[in-house]
Chain A
Amino acid sequence: MTFLGMPPVAPPGVGHLEGTEAFPAAARRALADSQLRANLARATSTIRAKRARVVGELPDWEELRAAGEAVKTATMARLDEHLERLEAEVTARGGTVHWARDAAEANETVAGLVRAAGATEVVKVKSLATDEIGLNDALAAHGIAAWETDLAELIVQLGADRPSHILVPAIHRNRAEIREIFLREMGDVDPGLTDDPAALAEAARLHLRRKFLSAQVGISGANFAIAETGTLCVVESEGNGRMCLTLPRTLITVMGIEKVLPSWADLAVFLQLLPRSSTGERMNPYTSMWTGVTPGDGPQQVHLVLLDNGRTAALASGTGRAALHCIRCSACLNVCPVYERAGGHAYGSVYPGPIGAVLSPQLTGVERNASLPYASSLCGACYEVCPVRIDIPSILVELRARHVEESRRDHRVPSAEAAMMAAASWVMGHPARFRAAQRAGRLGRLAGRRGRIRRLPPPLAGWTSARDAPVPPAQTFRQWWRQERGGS
């Protein structure tokens, strides 16, 4: 297909890539929820420590990261070729490949396949791609019930909630809350259920077993696809995914086009990077791989839906392209001081945290997620842990620049911020002007009491809402220097 001009971004109104309010407002509400703060702080600090321990065991961790980055960079540079190879190999082995330009196309394709299979129920492997496109809602509109089988996804689904973490969608819930959801929503649960994690898992196991045994269609995402053999790979911890991948007659996989890897040798790098970064484990518990159809064994109808939904637009964007290297480990969420306090819902997208702040705005176009690139103090903790070395702070800075440039293009009257930044540049671009501004700024001394300013006017009022501001000194450094040392 030939695109004229820029490739399209993900369409609005379908799927879960943008919230209804800007990050600062959504975060403010989350910050006030002390239970959420406690749940997040406990969970993220536990995973952080586990990850640090197992990563510290590997003397060649930095080399592994560099290898992961190199494979992804090279793959993205020839993505079209790898995808066509993948399609050819999947097809040659009895699978069917479908290309979906966006969320709406992908949803229609999947709904059509489920209906063709004569099913009204599907079981699902935990999948970010299907959540990104809002597949469950789309299937429901076609009269098809989709059952989430990942424990955390099940908790989210039963609680009529939204996922708030890439790896642990119900990270914002503690076990007491989970017990309440199960008692309320699982019709067949033992009323004496305790909040012991083993008891909760057993309740989910009994609840799901019936679904596994009756479902005719399984739906999954994919962590990786190997182009050279047309093999798909799902990495999970519970084994519920493997039930969905092996028991139903029809298996439908929805995969973002950036997940393809050229070869099995490449996969070896990522199967080392992913579990240590993600769950803090040395090796992943359930790694399922399937190649087309195996007659008489497992699903006899195998479909692969390749999803664009703004990815080609991100690929075309230069600096931002590296966001597509993400392998969804969630290490950046767990170390992010903003995520740890504001939680995943504040980002409004299925991709929260630092990676979401650089990925979501690129998939939707920056203007539809304009507050996300600013939802970071640029502390750099995300870049430090990213297993494929995505320089998230630099991409955030790039997206901020694009946002400002697009705003400048679209508005003839500059915003207050733009005017202030232009003025600051004009002042600081010349020492005489800077000295004059410093003299004017010393008027701030009048506002000070005992060396501190307790209230500043907008746009700095946010500063003094909880922080004092310093009173400008009687003498700037350059005045002192001139007085002491003379010269210009």
Chain B
Amino acid sequence: MRISLFVTCLADTLFPQVGKATVTLLERLGHQVEFPAAQACCGQMHVNTGYQREALPLIRRYVKVFSGADAVVVPSGSCAGSVRHQHAMVARRLGDEALARQAAAVAARTWELSELLTDVLGVEDVGAYYPHRVTYHPTCHSLRVLGVGDRPLRLLRQVDGLALVELPESVACCGFGGTFAVKNADTSIAMLADKMRHVLSTGAEVCTAGDSSCLMHIGGGLSRLRAGVRTVHLAEILASTRAGTGGLR
């Protein structure tokens, strides 16, 4: 299958290993991955902070860049959620009905990584090897906007060597919330403190999730505490094999 990668502005700029892992994984599964270089950002930060007018050109760009794609993969639950839940809504609110219709059409072919693997490509065992103790944080937008359910867990359970430990209170928000983490830094940190407490209680070496943003938040807190637990995106785990991580890390 020909799959277009929307890498997200965050992974592109700060976590390129997530994009590389997505490419490595999908190509290993026999698919052709394209990266349209004209892509930039889904506009979620703008929409969620109240700047819909500023989000509109970003939505227009996303629609234009991916309108010809058979399938778009996004290694982020919240960015995929923004494409599916916000793009048409914002276009309609700002009076661009034609864009709203096109956005809805592109959104219908946009998949978060675990959705693409399990629903579109029909695979749960991706042939990965990752000999570590791992706990999974289901990010809010993966869980409640997209409804990915246990898809990431089904994928993780098939990973050779991986010991999956359940995260207590897993469905509680980590406190990131985009600009919430800065505007309401104290409340955000209080939420993060509880999330970290639960992560540490599992004894896991690695905390994984399907969103680089939430992982940046949890990982930033764990790093500040020198907690000795690292955050790794789901794509990186699924891309790893006995042959190594493909030089990703």
Interface residues, chain A, with chain B CB atoms under 8 Å away: 23-24, 27-28, 31, 37, 337-338, 341-342, 373-381, 383-384, 394, 397, 400-405, 417-418, 421-422, 424-425, 428-431, 434, 438, 441, 452, 454, 459-460, 462-463, 465-470, 472-473, 475-478, 480-482, 485, 487-488
Contact = CB atoms under 8 A, between A and B. Distances in A.
Given A472-B13, A476-B13, A478-B12, A452 B49 contact: no
A477 B50 contact: no
B49 A24 contact: no
Name which of A377, A424, A478 has the most chain B CB atoms within 10 A of its CB. A377
B200 interface: no
Contacts of B16: 473, 475-477, 480
Contacts of B9: 428, 434
B3 to A, nearest CB: 14
B210 interface: no
Contact of B186 (A24, A378, A384, A405): A24
Interface in B148-183: 171-173, 175-183
B162 to A, nearest CB: 24
Contacts of A403: 50
Nearest to B185: A462
Given A378-B177, A400-B48, A430-B40, A27 B187 contact: yes
24 contacts: A27-B186, A28-B186, A37-B190, A337-B175, A373-B50, A376-B177, A377-B175, A378-B141, A379-B140, A381-B173, A397-B47, A397-B48, A425-B46, A429-B61, A462-B185, A463-B220, A466-B185, A466-B189, A466-B221, A469-B220, A470-B216, A480-B19, A480-B20, A481-B23
Majority SS at the chain A contact face: helix
Contacts of A421: 46, 49, 51, 54
Contacts of A24: 183-187
Interface centre among B9, B50, B180 (most CB of A within 10 A): B50
Nearest to A23: B184
Nearest to B81: A380
A404 B52 CA distance: 9
Given A428-B43, A466-B185, 13 more contacts: A37-B190, A374-B184, A378-B140, A378-B178, A384-B144, A422-B54, A428-B41, A438-B12, A462-B183, A462-B185, A467-B189, A472-B14, A477-B7
A487 B37 contact: yes
B58 interface: yes
B84 interface: no
A472 B51 CA distance: 26
Nearest to A434: B40
A487 B179 CA distance: 35
A480 B224 CA distance: 29
B35 A485 contact: yes
B104 interface: no
B191 A337 contact: yes
Nearest to B183: A374
Contacts of A454: 224
Contact of B220 (A337, A338, A441, A467): A467
Nearest to A408: B53
A451 to B, nearest CB: 8
B145 interface: yes
Contact of A478 (B35, B141, B177, B188): B35
Contacts of B37: 431, 478, 481-482, 487-488
A424 B46 contact: yes
A234 B18 CA distance: 55
A202 B181 CA distance: 45
A82 B23 CA distance: 59
Nearest to B40: A428
Contacts of A425: 46, 51, 54-55, 57-58
Interface string B19-55: 1100100000000000101111101011111111111
B192 interface: yes
A23 to B, nearest CB: 7
A472 B216 CA distance: 12
